[in-house]
Structure 1
């Protein structure tokens, strides 16, 4: 089920205080980095990723590639930090998003 704009705003408030859990380096979006993002999404559901790419176009490509390959929703992107959310129904205490 896709999340609404009001739910995205609520998630932005929740992700604001978080620190990036994954950092993309000079090699970009590799399979190992994507696997690490998958693990982080499964465990946390809501994560930040820092994309240290050379220019804006490279960052845009990396952010979109992560979204496509993980199936996560892009919550926000400010500069070189992107926030993603993917619901995990198997998690013991999943993040409860209000039905705004």
Structure 2
């Protein structure tokens, strides 16, 4: 499901108050980190990931890798911060996705 403009705007407004829960440093993005990001998206549906200054990774490259590996959607990239969204497969965690579908 591709997000429409209004849905992305709604998700950006929800993500504004969130703090990044993952930081990608000089070790780059690794397999265990990808797994943890997938698990966090399953429970939260909307997360922020930040790239530290000492990393060689580029935000757009990381966004592409995460889109392929975790099957999430990139809502926004601001500098070195990514906002990721994926609807949860478990109904008890589907708070944001129900609101997104209504838009």
The answer (yes or no) to whether the contact 1:51–1:62 under 8 Å persists in 2 is: no
Scaled by the length of structure 1, the TM-score of the pair is 0.88
* 1:93, distance to aligned residue in structure 2 (A): 4.2
Look up the match of 2:47.
Answer: 47
The 5 Å alignment of 1:54-69 reads 54=56, 58-69=58-69
Look up the match of 1:17.
Answer: 17
Deviations 1:37-92 (A, max 9, x none): 0111011000000122336xx33212211121111110001011000000013141
RMSD: 1.6
Distance, in Å, in 1 between the alignment partners of 2:83 and 2:29 is: 16
Q: Structure 1: give runs of 5+ residues left out of the alignment.
A: none
Look up the match of 1:82.
Answer: 82
Q: Structure 2: give runs of 5+ residues left out of the alignment.
A: none
The answer (yes or no) to whether the contact 1:22–1:48 under 8 Å persists in 2 is: yes
CA distance 1:15–1:63, change in 2 (3 Å): same
Length, aligned pairs only: 98
